[in-house]
Amino acid sequence: MQLLDDQHWHALPTDEVVDLLETDADQGLGQFAVRHRREQFGANELTPAKGRSALLRFLLQFHNPLIYILVAAGVITVVLRDYVDAIVILGVVLANAVIGYVQEAKAVEAIQALSQTMTASARVVREGETLDLPA
């Protein structure tokens, strides 16, 4: 069986998927075939998404056109020696970044907590018997 990574499996007819995977829809795989495919292709697991570092998440809070305008305004006020306005403008930019970072950190925590409570299962056919296995 060749590697078929680029297939859009969800769009193919069932019979074609069965043929491409060299299996039988009624009998499924035998234990030897399961073991062989695990050795050849590895475990059937989703790769966890790589999270962004805390520093990167904080720095990305500044990646916004309106923030660019505020930073430019802050720099211009410094050049014009209007330090009070510059401090206020740059303080607002920093406060916005901190608030955005805290909200995003809480959202990431909530998503991680939800993903830990979910259990995935897969319905498979093994030697003619339908089973629900942990995915």
In a domain, 131, yes or no: no
Q: Taking residues 39-53, report their average pLDDT.
A: 82
Q: Classify residue 126 as left (phi > 0), alpha (psi -120 to 50) or beta.
A: beta
Structural domain for 95, as ranges: 54-116
Segment 100-126 mean pLDDT: 89
Q: What is the pLDDT of residues 61-89, one digit of tens each?
A: 999 999 999 999 999 999 999 999 999 99
Distance of alpha carbon 62 from alpha carbon 58, whole angstroms: 8
User: Which pTM value belongs to this model?
Assistant: 0.62
pLDDT of residue 5: 66
Question: Quick one: 108 and 60 in the same domain?
Answer: yes
58 and 112 together in one domain: yes
Q: Are residues 67 and 105 in the same domain?
A: yes
82 lies in some domain? yes
Is residue 129 domain-resident?
no
Residues 96 and 75 in one domain: yes
Number of domains in the chain: 2
